[in-house]
């Protein structure tokens, strides 16, 4: 991060300097008192379990040279500390205002990626392609919320030429707030599924919340969307912005002649008069879509198609995202980062297409689906049966509906195991694993399915 004056922070936040020097500087910004570094600004945030305001003194002990606070008791107790103290009405709002101010220091394009699934992989593919020509800042991991996005922006340096950020949301208004901070020139939409339907109620509302990203887009802005997605295709061309539409069935940028292999997939990219073979070192049709979105951005920013093909061939997914771990003759598909119905279907398609003596699906609950939860889990159960999975093991309260529906749809009862905990799953796996098995492990983040992957790695060895 480039240095900021206390004066800039006061003006950006519209706060009040209680004590300190407007000419002092901060060399970074932290919201975690445990990770504060010397001469950083500490912004305490209120979480579900903790209030960062309670750890202001800890941050100062770690070396913070400035503190933002919205609590009058902290204002009083910090008067005896040799530190800059800025009083604001609300600390999260202050974080947003500073991030917005800091972003305006950089006259570089921002690409924002949103959607129900595939955001992180698409963002990473875009960054890999753009890195062929530009110095790129990208969201690390899934820092895609109202805290993560500002912290990503604070990583901007004067050497960066372009930024790729991921935008997630839990409800109406969040994407709008993120958009107002980042001011993206390009908006990329992956798909509209049912993630967060618990709070938004319908896919139509999810689309409405996601398209906050392109409110007030103008002629100089660019919209990249999945033309095969039934909801995204409804976006009216009411914007004067430039469009890229990608897909397998529809769109101007298409993937044709798709060939699936064990650990990768290849296809022919067709765009205008161009036909180019693209090979991905990751499996799954969903990654074809992710790569097409990245190619659209590459085209917009003048990346040579040969360079794009090379970048995608070298691309590797993030940790716990469809990583195929091969130990002897056993394959473990580690896809435990998170789960919703769309990503669950994508993972099952990878298991279905993988050569194996037996195919085992270890599936945990998909969370945050609200009233749609039972139906969503039953849909996955039907897909398990239709995909001819040999053995199904479920973990959690809701995943029992996956098991029930798979049985209704023809899967043999003695090949279905219903568990309450991951420990129970491990006990079953210990007894049934055989040479030649391919095992998919997937569930929502809260299910901690990585415990099963770790057990399998230790057990198989």
Q: Whole-angstrom Cα distance, residue 45 to residue 232?
A: 35
Closest CA to 149 of 192, 113, 194, 195: 113
Q: Whole-angstrom Cα distance, residue 331 to residue 427?
A: 19
Would you say 259 and 265 are in contact if contact means Cβ atoms under 8 Å apart? yes
91 labeled part of a ligand binding site: no
Q: Whole-angstrom Cα distance, residue 134 to residue 127?
A: 9
Quick one: tokens of 104? 């305006």
Q: Whole-angstrom Cα distance, residue 401 to residue 418?
A: 10
C-alpha distance from residue 326 to each of 268, 284, 332, 334, 360 (Å):
28, 17, 6, 11, 15
Q: Which residues contact 371 (CB under 8 A, 6 or more apart)?
A: 198
Q: Which residues contact 238 (CB under 8 A, 6 or more apart)?
A: none
Quick one: tokens of 100? 């917005």
Would you say 278 and 255 are in contact if contact means Cβ atoms under 8 Å apart? yes
Quick one: tokens of 1? 């991060």
121 labeled part of a ligand binding site: yes
Residue 257, H or E segment: strand 253-260
Q: Whole-angstrom Cα distance, residue 41 to residue 60?
A: 9
118 labeled part of a ligand binding site: yes
117 labeled part of a ligand binding site: yes
Q: Whole-angstrom Cα distance, residue 231 to residue 204?
A: 8
31 labeled part of a ligand binding site: no
Binding annotation: 115-121
Binding residues for ATP, by number, are 115-121
């Amino acid at each position: 991060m480039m240095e900021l004056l206390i004066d800039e922070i006061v003006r950006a936040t519209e706060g009040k300097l209680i004590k300190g020097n407007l000419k002092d500087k901060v060399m970074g910004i932290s919201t975690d008192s445990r990770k504060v570094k010397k001469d950083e600004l500490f912004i305490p945030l209120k979480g579900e379990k903790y209030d960062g305001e309670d750890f202001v003194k800890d941050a100062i002990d770690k070396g913070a040279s400035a503190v933002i606070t919205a609590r009058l008791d902290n204002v009083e107790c910090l008067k005896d500390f040799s530190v800059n103290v800025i009083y604001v009405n609300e600390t999260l709002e202050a974080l947003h205002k500073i991030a917005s101010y800091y972003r305006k220091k950089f006259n570089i394009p921002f690409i924002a990626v949103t959607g129900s699934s595939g955001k992180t992989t698409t963002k990473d593919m875009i960054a890999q392609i753009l890195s062929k020509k530009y110095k790129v800042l990208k969201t690390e991991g899934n820092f895609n919320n109202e805290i993560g996005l500002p912290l990503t922006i604070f990583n901007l340096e004067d050497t960066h030429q372009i930024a790729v950020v991921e935008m997630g949301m839990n409800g109406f208004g969040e994407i709008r707030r993120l958009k107002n901070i980042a001011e993206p020139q390009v908006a990329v939409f992956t798909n509209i599924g049912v993630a967060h339907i618990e709070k938004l109620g319908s896919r139509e509302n999810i689309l409405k919340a996601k398209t906050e990203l392109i409110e007030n887009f103008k002629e100089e802005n660019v919209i990249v969307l999945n033309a095969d997605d039934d909801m995204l295709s409804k976006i009216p061309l009411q914007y004067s912005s430039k469009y890229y539409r990608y897909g397998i069935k529809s769109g101007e940028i298409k993937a044709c002649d798709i060939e699936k292999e064990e650990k990768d997939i290849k296809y022919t990219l067709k765009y205008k008069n161009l036909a180019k073979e693209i090979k991905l070192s990751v499996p799954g049709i969903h990654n074809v879509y992710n790569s097409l979105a990245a190619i659209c951005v590459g085209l917009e920013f003048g990346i040579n198609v040969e360079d794009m093909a090379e970048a995608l061939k070298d691309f590797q997914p993030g940790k716990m995202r469809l990583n195929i771990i091969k130990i002897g003759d056993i394959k473990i598909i580690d896809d435990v980062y998170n789960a919703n119905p769309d990503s669950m279907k994508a993972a099952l398609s990878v298991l279905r297409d993988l050569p194996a003596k037996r195919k085992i699906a270890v599936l945990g609950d998909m969370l945050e689906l609200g009233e749609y939860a039972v139906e969503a889990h039953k849909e996955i159960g039907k897909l398990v049966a239709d995909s001819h999975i040999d053995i199904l093991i479920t973990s959690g309260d809701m995943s029992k509906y996956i098991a029930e529906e798979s049985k209704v749809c023809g899967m043999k009862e003695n090949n279905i195991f219903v568990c309450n905990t991951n420990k129970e799953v491990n006990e079953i796996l210990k007894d049934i694993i055989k040479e030649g098995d391919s095992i998919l492990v997937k569930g929502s983040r809260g299910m901690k399915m990585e415990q099963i992957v770790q057990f399998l790695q230790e057990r198989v060895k």
